[in-house]
Structure 1
Amino acid sequence: MYIEKIYTPSDLKKLTIRECQELAKEIRKALIVKASKKGGHLASNLGMVDATIAIHYVFNSPTDKIIFDVSHQCYTHKILTGRKDAFIDEELYNTCNGYTNPVESEHDVFRVGHTATSISLACGMAKARDLAGGKENIIAIIGDGSLSGGEALEGLNFGGSEIQGNLIIIFNDNQMSIAENHGGIYKNLQQLRETYGKCENNLFKAFGYDYLFVKDGHDIEELVKTLQSVKDIDHPIVVHICTVKGKGYEHAQMNKESTHWVRPFDIESGKEKNPFNGARYDYIIRDHLIEKMKKDERIVTMIAAVPGALSFSEEYRKQIGRQFVDVGIAEEHAIAMAAGIAKHGGKPVFATMSTFFQRTYDQISQELCINKMPATMIVVNASVYSADDVTHIGIFDIPMMSNIPNLVYLAPTNRQEYIAMLDWSIDQTEYPVAIRAPRNGVFDAKGEVDVDYSELNKYKVVSEGKEIAIIALGDFFQLGEELSDKIKKIYSINSTLINPRYITGLDKTLLTDLIKNHKLIITLEDGVLDGGFGQKIASFYGPQDMKVLNYGLKKEFLDRYNISEVMEKNHLCADIIAEDIKNYV
């Protein structure tokens, strides 16, 4: 096998083109087998195998800099740069992560997990190289789905006119984002494909780039010839290659969207090995939204290239037609568009991952909150229980969003509360509202839930007690229940348990009342403590004779962590907290 002989890119260069073609087959097999056992980004990587081989065959990494966009297409790159064992030895599967990572290898330039970044990063490296008098090639790899991202267009705009030296953009066109592409830019890409890059309208030339077209992005020989022709070029150029997402695995080619990222599956059938059959909030909210949209044509559900945020697969998107909008990888545009929809009488609901909301801070502040536009934002994967790669962790949204004036940020604790908050948010006309989707499992309410949240910052006392009050936010409410039981068992104290519901404000009346017969306030939040919910409670009690203990997460970049270890380290366990408070009881 050729794959076993590849330790560095220099080993690859010793192979003939025919041998490289055999290597590509071996790499695809390794990718499929590993994904079937561990999960990961499958279809997106299968489509880039041949191109990555050609890139390393021609260029001289790490002297030449290869910058992956998103970097979820970097598995072959990792195999060719000394990390093959992590893809062919099951015992070593966990030794490298799914994104480029300079800590792992000098061949990885950046650690990134947000898309549309590679061209801007490459422009910066090219500018620094030129100032230093360097000669290395700077190569940015970007997919067609990423071109809908504003940063990609900003990078294109700058690089084509402002970089005077070598800048090579390898544009991987597989006619797909995670799902299908959306936007007018893709009409020109279709023209370029149909004319073999010769049509008069050419997006890349319009931005000032030289341009080459490769019809078959899986033809290693043709790719090598083309890349050799642009190596050491003295000006910016785009090499447009056409590939097939999922290439080499029929199930992936036929199911490009569902195999973009996979859980462990059976290779022969393509079926997930251990499908989750319990209740899921993405299914619950998707189905609820569909029913609401059928009754009210003013409701528009919006996503930014990640329909999986609410499990809106193609069949569900078709059900609601024009009331479903995928803006592509353009989160800023989505928020601004939502403000426009709301201004003109529509009822926008935008859902995406917590980590992607980081891109929308300006639009939430300016377009939504200053103008008080009644749009609904569903913040998905906002939890320590969610994605564990450092580029996708969702624990920073509370400080970011809760400090924007006019925004109402809600934290449901159960199924009924989540639906009630969503219904209220969609129908009210006073506030921009964000809802932090729970991530610790689906729980049902133990009683009636409120349906009107217009009286802002009104906390809910779930059980009344004395001496100790537990204010447990969102999906840490169940931890609060467990802690309350533990305190009663150990200290014979009936504590007060509070579901605050509102992340963005304080129930000053309730907090003041607690002073009468409580000595200790405990806050629990599923996010970083610095600038978060608990610190606002502590600040309120600053002038008072009240002890406040804030429990949440340390401000740090967690990466591929063990959830139990993180929870224990941050004392987010009922037993540990109960031990912590013994000196206060």
Structure 2
Amino acid sequence: MSYPTLERISTPADLRALDRRELGIVADELRAFLIESVSRTGGHLSSNLGTVELTIALHSVFNTPHDRIVWDVGHQTYGHKVLTGRREAMAGLRLWGGISGFPRRCESEYDTFGTAHSSTSISAALGMAVAARNRKESRHSIAVIGDGAMSAGMAFEALNNAGDIEDINLLVILNDNEMSISPPVGALTKILARMLSGSTYNTARRVGEKVLGMAPPVAELARKVEEYAKGMISPGTLFEEFGFHYYGPIDGHDLDALIPTLQNLKKLKGPQFLHVITKKGQGYKLAEADPILYHGVSKFDHTAGIQANKGGGKPTYTQVFGDWLCDMAAADPRIVGITPAMREGSGLVRFAQEYPERYFDVGIAEQHAVTFAAGLACEGLVPVVAIYSTFLQRAYDQLIHDVALQNLQVVFAIDRGGLVGADGATHHGAYDLSYLACIPNMVVMAPADENECRQMLYTATQYPGPTAVRYPRGSGSGAVLSGAPMSALPIGKAEIRRQGRRIALLAYGSMVDVVRRVGDTLDATVVNMRFIKPIDETLLAELATSHELLVTIEENAVIGGAGAEVARFIDTQPRRPRMLRLGLPDRFIDHGDQAKLLASVGLDEAGILASIKAIDQADS
């Protein structure tokens, strides 16, 4: 397809030079371009279709990049990327060597703040606004935050701080599409929805407008009455109590409403709050009908749409977990499932349908999710927190103080451990083995295959303290799921999968399968370590006496990881063999195909072999 008007735009300055009537054409072409482009690369689609007009309006009214726009979460910025000189680069979106699917400061001066996790935009934009004020620079700071992201405590911490700071040019735009990734939850969502669902508020406004046309004394009384009534049925008063001037809601797809409103707000001082209503998937009927399906997509035919998966392939670890949780809930009434707004991504759809009274989506509130689980555990339930590795980082304090310190039985089902692929550095589960293993009372496990994943999850429910089962994104080795009753593994016991000589390869989780092949090549002993904490000290002591070289292999940061714990123990032994620790290097790893990423850090079969041969030859 050709996009004649869009192709004239290399920077927002080109957009601002267009005639106002041409902006509608830009919106149509930008939306069509995004559908075609994302269908070829994969990526986030629904959210980006919903922000087309808002993106155009912002870059038309504000002098970017001098004025700062901070996008929250960041997966709504494809249109922003196109309008800021990256239209051609969209062909490599999220691919190895290509541009990121999120804003990155190193990628463009228009990406004023790197965002990929929720609810950071108001804090960052406030920092920028205060810096501009203190430097006496005339610039605007704009935070664009979704209604799902507003469920996080950090967003309200920022509102609380911002409302108490005067003389700043800060605009918070609530992009209200009644969706995050999963369906919205929580009281705030209900407040926003209530105002839009009926005619009460609109009727109140129309009556207020008529009354306000009366004599001044009566008009002032009517204004106060309307403000009180409005506070009973709208979110305006909520944000105004934080010190913001609230405006809206307005149609986020109407440029004739957006542009004049933003132009007026640009003239005002102090914290401003604009509430816009958008629709996920706007302009693409298939995405409008199923915004969850089209939230994050692989390559697809955009004319035919995403075709249903006919099945037959290996189940993912996420599916294995979801099915296990349903099986476990049927056998144990104490089991409850918790997710911080990731029902689909964490495999909880079936559980939510079959056990709605035992399913809790707490919204984008990881800290609350963990302490909520701790409270449930105090009363004898067995909460299972389904969470991505990268998101659990946000609740680290709660994990230590509210769960581990009290030695509560909370099961953490940690998805996306290791390198996740196209979402890149912000979403890689690179640190969990390091940050979990140092916490007292924690038991940390990593399954080598799908069957072992079920066993470990069951083991976690039988253990009286806090446990974590960490598994990777995607499918495993294809192990046939056993129909036998689930049984608990002995805590802290590894297993030898291949007996060799001289070299022992100690593999964790996702690395076991590839290490087995390396073991065949080297005639090495291969150990499925299973437990990161506690480690199998008995087996390690035996290996230290019978082997010349011990190699630990993990898809986790090598600093402070599982290998570090093995090395610590080996240092206490009377006979200390040579050691090689392989894992993720001390740098952030970019986005791209998972296999390519593993090869780039030497964690594929060839890389592991090369590292072992290099140290073995150097020491021989």
TM-score range, shorter chain: over 0.9
**Which range moved further: 16-25 or 87-96?**
87-96
Secondary structure class of the residue paired with 1:136: coil
Alignment of 1:287 with 2:323, yes or no, is yes
Secondary structure class of the residue paired with 1:307: coil
Alignment of 1:347 with 2:378, yes or no, is no
Report the AA paired with residue 72 of structure 2: D
**Which range moved further: 279-288 or 39-48?**
279-288
User: Structure 2: how far apart are the matches of 1:138 and 1:235?
Assistant: 11
Q: Which residue of 2 aligns with 1:336?
A: 371
Alignment of 1:141 with 2:144, yes or no, is yes
How big is the shift at 1:440? 6.5
Cα displacement string for residues 308-362 of structure 1 (whole angstroms, at most 9, x for unaligned residues):
333334x653222122211110011111111111111111111121111110110
Matches within 5 A, 1:170-319: 170-193=173-196, 194=198, 195=201, 199-201=230-232, 202-272=237-307, 277-313=313-349, 317-319=352-354
Report the AA paired with residue 305 of structure 1: A
User: Structure 2: how far apart are the matches of 1:275 and 1:395?
Assistant: 32
Matches within 5 A, 1:550-569: 550-561=581-592, 563=594, 566-569=597-600
User: Structure 1: how far apart are the matches of 2:267 and 2:485?
Assistant: 66
Secondary structure class of the residue paired with 2:344: helix
Q: Which residue of 1 aligns with 2:219?
A: none
User: Structure 1: how far apart are the matches of 2:403 and 2:96?
Assistant: 44
Cα displacement string for residues 221-245 of structure 1 (whole angstroms, at most 9, x for unaligned residues):
1100100111042110100001111
Q: Is the 8 A contact 2:437 2:533 kept in 1?
A: yes
How big is the shift at 1:157? 1.1
User: Structure 2: how far apart are the matches of 1:295 and 1:525?
Assistant: 34
Q: Is the 8 A contact 2:100 2:423 kept in 1?
A: no
How big is the shift at 1:13? 1.6
User: Structure 2: how far apart are the matches of 1:412 and 1:253?
Assistant: 38
When residues 95 and 280 of structure 1 are mapped into structure 2, their CA distance, relative to the original with a 3 A threshold, is closer
Q: Which residue of 2 aligns with 1:491?
A: none
Report the AA paired with residue 242 of structure 2: F
When residues 240 and 450 of structure 1 are mapped into structure 2, their CA distance, relative to the original with a 3 A threshold, is closer
Report the AA paired with residue 307 of structure 1: R
Candidates 66, 69, 75, aligned match of 2:78: 75
Alignment of 1:358 with 2:389, yes or no, is no
Candidates 122, 125, 129, aligned match of 2:128: 125
Q: Is the 8 A contact 1:417 1:449 kept in 2?
A: no
Q: Is the 8 A contact 1:67 1:139 kept in 2?
A: yes
User: Structure 1: how far apart are the matches of 2:391 and 2:599?
Assistant: 27
Secondary structure class of the residue paired with 1:228: helix
When residues 183 and 30 of structure 1 are mapped into structure 2, their CA distance, relative to the original with a 3 A threshold, is same
Report the AA paired with residue 431 of structure 1: G
Secondary structure class of the residue paired with 2:13: helix
Q: Is the 8 A contact 2:421 2:593 kept in 1?
A: no
User: Structure 2: how far apart are the matches of 1:36 and 1:233?
Assistant: 41
Q: Is the 8 A contact 1:46 1:246 kept in 2?
A: yes
How big is the shift at 1:575? 3.2
Alignment of 1:25 with 2:54, yes or no, is no
When residues 564 and 41 of structure 1 are mapped into structure 2, their CA distance, relative to the original with a 3 A threshold, is closer
Q: Is the 8 A contact 1:417 1:445 kept in 2?
A: no
Report the AA paired with residue 276 of structure 2: I
User: Structure 1: how far apart are the matches of 2:369 and 2:309?
Assistant: 34
Secondary structure class of the residue paired with 2:47: helix
Alignment of 1:15 with 2:46, yes or no, is no
Cα displacement string for residues 441-464 of structure 1 (whole angstroms, at most 9, x for unaligned residues):
3232799999324x5322222333
When residues 385 and 200 of structure 1 are mapped into structure 2, their CA distance, relative to the original with a 3 A threshold, is closer
How big is the shift at 1:562? 5.5
Q: Is the 8 A contact 1:341 1:347 kept in 2?
A: yes
Cα displacement string for residues 381-431 of structure 1 (whole angstroms, at most 9, x for unaligned residues):
111254551211111111111111111110111121110111121233x11
How big is the shift at 1:567? 3.7
User: Structure 2: how far apart are the matches of 1:575 and 1:471?
Assistant: 14
Q: Is the 8 A contact 1:264 1:272 kept in 2?
A: no
When residues 31 and 147 of structure 1 are mapped into structure 2, their CA distance, relative to the original with a 3 A threshold, is same
Secondary structure class of the residue paired with 2:550: strand
**Which range moved further: 232-241 or 302-311?**
302-311
Q: Which residue of 2 aligns with 1:112?
A: 115
How big is the shift at 1:87? 4.0
Report the AA paired with residue 266 of structure 1: D
Alignment of 1:324 with 2:327, yes or no, is no
Q: Which residue of 1 aligns with 2:456?
A: 421
Q: Is the 8 A contact 1:538 1:548 kept in 2?
A: yes
When residues 458 and 26 of structure 1 are mapped into structure 2, their CA distance, relative to the original with a 3 A threshold, is same
When residues 11 and 387 of structure 1 are mapped into structure 2, their CA distance, relative to the original with a 3 A threshold, is closer
Q: Is the 8 A contact 2:97 2:592 kept in 1?
A: no
Secondary structure class of the residue paired with 1:363: helix
Q: Which residue of 2 aligns with 1:497?
A: 526
Secondary structure class of the residue paired with 1:222: helix
Candidates 152, 155, 161, aligned match of 1:152: 155
So what's the TM-score if we normalise by structure 1?
A: 0.93
Report the AA paired with residue 200 of structure 1: G
When residues 163 and 462 of structure 1 are mapped into structure 2, their CA distance, relative to the original with a 3 A threshold, is farther
Secondary structure class of the residue paired with 2:425: coil
When residues 440 and 577 of structure 1 are mapped into structure 2, their CA distance, relative to the original with a 3 A threshold, is farther
Measured on the aligned residues, the alpha-carbon RMSD in Å equals 2.5
When residues 449 and 529 of structure 1 are mapped into structure 2, their CA distance, relative to the original with a 3 A threshold, is farther
Candidates 48, 54, 69, aligned match of 2:51: 48
When residues 556 and 104 of structure 1 are mapped into structure 2, their CA distance, relative to the original with a 3 A threshold, is same
Candidates 480, 483, 487, aligned match of 1:451: 487
Q: Is the 8 A contact 2:450 2:481 kept in 1?
A: no
Q: Is the 8 A contact 2:77 2:102 kept in 1?
A: yes
User: Structure 2: how far apart are the matches of 1:281 and 1:91?
Assistant: 23
When residues 296 and 450 of structure 1 are mapped into structure 2, their CA distance, relative to the original with a 3 A threshold, is closer
Q: Is the 8 A contact 1:299 1:348 kept in 2?
A: yes
Matches within 5 A, 1:336-485: 336-384=371-419, 386-428=421-463, 430-439=464-473, 441-443=475-477, 444=479, 451-453=487-489, 455-485=490-520
User: Structure 1: how far apart are the matches of 2:89 and 2:309?
Assistant: 23
User: Structure 2: how far apart are the matches of 1:322 and 1:294?
Assistant: 13
Cα displacement string for residues 110-132 of structure 1 (whole angstroms, at most 9, x for unaligned residues):
11210100000011111111111
When residues 370 and 153 of structure 1 are mapped into structure 2, their CA distance, relative to the original with a 3 A threshold, is same
User: Structure 2: how far apart are the matches of 1:159 and 1:413?
Assistant: 48
Structure 1 spans left out of the alignment, 5+ residues: 489-494
User: Structure 2: how far apart are the matches of 1:442 and 1:55?
Assistant: 44
Q: Is the 8 A contact 2:502 2:547 kept in 1?
A: yes
Candidates 522, 525, 542, aligned match of 2:571: 542
When residues 92 and 514 of structure 1 are mapped into structure 2, their CA distance, relative to the original with a 3 A threshold, is closer
How big is the shift at 1:85? 2.2
**Which range moved further: 331-340 or 89-98?**
89-98
User: Structure 2: how far apart are the matches of 1:80 and 1:20?
Assistant: 12
% of aligned pairs identical?
35
When residues 552 and 254 of structure 1 are mapped into structure 2, their CA distance, relative to the original with a 3 A threshold, is same
Secondary structure class of the residue paired with 1:162: coil
**Which range moved further: 229-238 or 79-88?**
79-88
User: Structure 1: how far apart are the matches of 2:332 and 2:593?
Assistant: 44
Q: Is the 8 A contact 1:317 1:324 kept in 2?
A: yes
Structure 2 spans left out of the alignment, 5+ residues: 206-226
Alignment of 1:164 with 2:167, yes or no, is yes
Report the AA paired with residue 442 of structure 2: L
When residues 542 and 389 of structure 1 are mapped into structure 2, their CA distance, relative to the original with a 3 A threshold, is same
When residues 458 and 138 of structure 1 are mapped into structure 2, their CA distance, relative to the original with a 3 A threshold, is same
Q: Is the 8 A contact 2:72 2:146 kept in 1?
A: yes
User: Structure 2: how far apart are the matches of 1:164 and 1:85?
Assistant: 40
**Which range moved further: 435-444 or 130-139?**
435-444
How big is the shift at 1:156? 1.1
When residues 341 and 534 of structure 1 are mapped into structure 2, their CA distance, relative to the original with a 3 A threshold, is same
Report the AA paired with residue 393 of structure 1: H
